[in-house]
Chains A and B, each alone.
Chain A
Amino acid sequence: MTDTASDLVAARRLDGNAAASTLAELFAVDLTEARSRCASCGSTAMLGAHHLYADAPALVLRCPSCTGVVLRFAAQRGRLVLDLSGAQLLVVPVPDDYADNGADDEADNEADDEADDEADEAPPAE
């Protein structure tokens, strides 16, 4: 194993999937399935497929194509701080994709109502 700085950084790289719990502090829907268009290079990928650096002072998600910073999130002095300036467009699926999978339960209702409320407020997808 080499000990160059870049290799050390690479070895600490995780996936956006691992940011789901932290982002749930702020978001009611799972953002790892959201598609994000990078403000730097214009490419689109699911946030779960972005590169995550979880041990930086803030949680940092980087574009898997150009490594530009897409999202930063931190808890500081009793505040949650979100910087989304690197994300040009975020498209979050509301879970109608899951509606007809035959595995339902009654306890869904509350969550469904929340999701529907948010869908009403969301900007239209492309």
Chain B
Amino acid sequence: MARAAVQRRLIWRTARVLDNRAETDRVHRLVLEVPHWPGHLPGQHVVVRLTAEDGYTAQRSYSLASPPDVPQLHLTVERLDDGEVSPYLTDEVRAGDELELRGPIGGYFVWSAAADRAGGEPRPVQLVAGGSGVAPFLAMVEHHQRQESPTPLRLLYSARTAADVIGRDVLGAETTITLTRESPPDWPGPTGRVDRDLLARCTFPSTDRPRVFVCGSTPFVEAVAATLIDLGHDPSAIRLERYGNSEEPK
């Protein structure tokens, strides 16, 4: 499966929407059925193409939020009010609609239990997410759970408020959530931005030689990556996925 997922020539596929539900105020979860889906690796993305009646097309990349262990594809789409694509996907798309997509795409920002088994020495996996950048990590965490992988894995996830947290049904003991804007009085976890102190307290230390994945807005990813390097992590062990700034990811 892994081999096919990385190698297959990309074609446009028709996805049928099974469900479109609000996960938070701004983020919807689209559940898609794609006939003959070749399988994917946790962390890979797809490109969704919308075509208007006049033939105008717009394409956007979305990380797959579901692991290869389940047959449907889940996308978590954040509504950007000035966006061309995301308001349509969050507010207009209904169950039964069809979308064009192609994928799976990208062999760089991926982790799978199988690759660890094949790779010999298992190394811990540290995931760091800002906001909707948690999407590829939902796939990795659920895959890790379903495979009962022995690889130590942790996620540090920064969300603005408790109501903005995506993927509550998946995230478990491996996850530390920090709330940056406001937190309920009984919030058990940390609060405040992902800074040096929080990374030092809530992630694998560099001496454990973890593979590190960081995903979120460009400023978030670059700040976290610089701090991780400062904390002694090997730059070549850190993989980044920047979602850009506030505008819709292309």
Interface centre among A15, A47, A100 (most CB of B within 10 A): A15
A99 to B2, CA, bound (A): 9
Chain B interface, number of residues (Cβ within 8 angstroms): 39
A15 touches B39 (CB 8 A): no
A46 vs chain B, min Cβ distance (A): 6
Q: Mark B160-189, 1 if CB is under 8 A from A, else 0.
A: 000000000000000000000000000000
Question: B108 at interface (Cβ–Cβ under 8 A)?
Answer: yes
Stretch at the interface among B17-25, B110-118, B150-158, B200-208: B110-118
Beyond A30-B6, A98-B2, is A48–B118 a contact (Cβ under 8 Å)? no
Stretch at the interface among B26-34, B86-94, B240-248: B240-248
A14 touches B218 (CB 8 A): yes
A-side contacts of B8, CB under 8 Å: 111
20 contacts across the A-B interface (CB closer than 8 A): A11-B218, A14-B218, A14-B250, A15-B109, A15-B240, A18-B241, A21-B61, A29-B7, A30-B7, A33-B6, A33-B107, A55-B250, A97-B118, A101-B3, A101-B112, A102-B117, A103-B2, A108-B3, A108-B4, A112-B7
Question: B95 at interface (Cβ–Cβ under 8 A)?
Answer: no
- Residue numbers of B with Cβ under 8 A of A are 1-4, 6-10, 38-39, 45, 47, 59, 61, 102-103, 105-109, 112, 114-115, 117-118, 218-219, 222, 239-245, 249-250
A107 to B39, CA, bound (A): 10
B106 touches A32 (CB 8 A): yes
- Residue numbers of A with Cβ under 8 A of B are 10-18, 20-21, 24, 28-30, 32-33, 46-49, 54-55, 95, 97-105, 107-108, 111-112, 114-115
A48 touches B3 (CB 8 A): no
Partner of B7, one of A11, A17, A114: A114
Beyond A30-B107, A48-B108, is A103–B245 a contact (Cβ under 8 Å)? no
A67 vs chain B, min Cβ distance (A): 14
A98 to B45, CA, bound (A): 19
Beyond A20-B106, A48-B239, A101-B117, is A10–B2 a contact (Cβ under 8 Å)? no
B239 touches A112 (CB 8 A): no
B-side contacts of A30, CB under 8 Å: 6-7, 105-108
A38 vs chain B, min Cβ distance (A): 15
A112 vs chain B, min Cβ distance (A): 7
A48 touches B106 (CB 8 A): yes
A102 to B113, CA, bound (A): 10
B219 vs chain A, min Cβ distance (A): 6
A-side contacts of B102, CB under 8 Å: 21
* Chain A residue nearest in CB terms to B5: A98
A5 vs chain B, min Cβ distance (A): 14
A18 touches B117 (CB 8 A): no
A-side contacts of B249, CB under 8 Å: 14, 18
B236 vs chain A, min Cβ distance (A): 8
Partner of B3, one of A17, A28, A32, A112: A112
A49 to B105, CA, bound (A): 15
Interface centre among B45, B59, B250 (most CB of A within 10 A): B250
A17 touches B106 (CB 8 A): yes
B109 touches A17 (CB 8 A): yes
